[in-house]
Amino acid sequence: MGRERELAALQEQFRRLGSPDHPERAVLIEGVAGVGKSRLLQEFRYFCQLNGGGFFLSNCRPAGAGAGPGEPLSEVLRQALAGAGVDLGESGSDLVSLCAAAARYAGSELPDVRGRLDPAQLTLHLADTMLRFLEASGRDRPFVVAFDDVQWADGPTAEMLGYLARNALGGPFLVCLAYRREEVKGTASQALIDEFATEPAVRVPLESLTSTAVSTMVNSMLGQVEFPAEFLDRFTEDTGGNPFFAIELLRLHAQEGTLYRGAGGWQVNESAAQEPVRVPASVRELVERRVRALPRDALGVLEALAVLARRAHPELVADMLSASADAVA
């Protein structure tokens, strides 16, 4: 909903895979928390799969979430090997073992690299093995290798992603990276993202949804409703067109009776709708969890939450972050 242009840009990249006039090396989907990056990837996934392609997707996780270095690559490689019909049988599921299987598929052997190369060399060696495998396995059908939440990529993952994207040119597969733009600074992915600012890459920035798209979203969640235009305008303004906040605020309105189910379907309680939105602890927690990794300085907080803050700001932002209004103002 409301992402037709962005989806069309991705579809176009998929259609042009493998053609000589395909200069782009990677697709970068960027936007703030909750704006719809993962959802767009999901839509793109359906498109690729329905059109005879493969789609291998992995999420990077924040440090401390238990993922080892290079885990996102292992995950995608595991899926790609399965997609190519490679039976992993007894072989290990770590990146080196997966790369050994990938090398065999591509007609070579991965030398015993463990302990013989320094970590940086090993990373490149494995990335190159993976590249050759992806090129070989894409001969039968084009595919996308997508990495979500790249702002959390660990060092080796960022290195390998760079290698793959740099060398994917003209190949049968597309590297697709999604990330929170404002959280990339100072992370292992910064160099990677900066590099593709000047390399040929397709950027798909996700902006706030328009009020029409937000209305469509509300309609699809509640059934066809005829809400007053003022309510929908205010709802869009309160959520800043951020779909994550829109879903949460809709839930909140339903819980608190601002929206209620009348005889003819959902209706607005006009007087409740005039009240400023108070965000209860449960929603605050959800939002906080979502934006926890954001820089905690006032600017980062405001940027992230400006989406909700247009009308009730700064009290609403303060309320959501359990901070004083003065601190966020």
Question: Binding to ligand ATP by residue 39, rule CB under 6 A?
Answer: yes
Interface with Mg ion in residues 24-63 (CB under 5 A): 37-38
In the complex, the smallest distance separating the C-beta of residue 278 from ligand ATP, rounded to whole angstroms, is 22
Distance of CA 167 to the CA centre of its chain: 22
Question: Binding to ligand ATP by residue 243, rule CB under 6 A?
Answer: yes
- Which amino acid would we find at residue 126? L
Cis status, amide bond into 23, omega within 30 of 0: no
**Are 242 and 308 in contact, with CB atoms under 8 Å apart?**
yes
In the complex, the smallest distance separating the C-beta of residue 42 from Mg ion, rounded to whole angstroms, is 10
In the complex, the smallest distance separating the C-beta of residue 43 from ligand ATP, rounded to whole angstroms, is 8
* Candidate list 6, 25, 28, 37; residue touching ligand ATP; CB under 6 A: 37
Residue given tokens 């247009």 in the structure block:
310
- Between 1 and 323, CB nearer to ligand ATP: 1
35 contacts which partner out of Mg ion, ligand ATP, none, CB within 5 to 8 A by kind? ligand ATP
CA distance 21 to 15: 12
SS3 241: coil
**How is residue 90 written in tokens?**
């007894």
Other CB atoms within 10 A of residue 252 CB: 18
In the complex, the smallest distance separating the C-beta of residue 275 from ligand ATP, rounded to whole angstroms, is 25
**Residue 227: CA count within 13 A, CB half-sphere:** 30
R_g over Cα of the chain: 23
* Candidate list 13, 36, 103, 268; residue touching ligand ATP; CB under 6 A: 36
Question: Binding to Mg ion by residue 91, rule CB under 5 A?
Answer: no
**Residue 237: CA count within 13 A, CB half-sphere:** 12
The size of the interface with ligand ATP (CB under 6 A), counted in residues, is 18
Q: Given the rule CB under 6 A, which of 30-38, 67-75, 108-116, 307-315 is the region that contacts ligand ATP?
A: 30-38
Which stretches of the chain bind ligand ATP, using CB under 6 A? 1-3, 31, 33-39, 149, 180, 217, 243-244, 247, 290
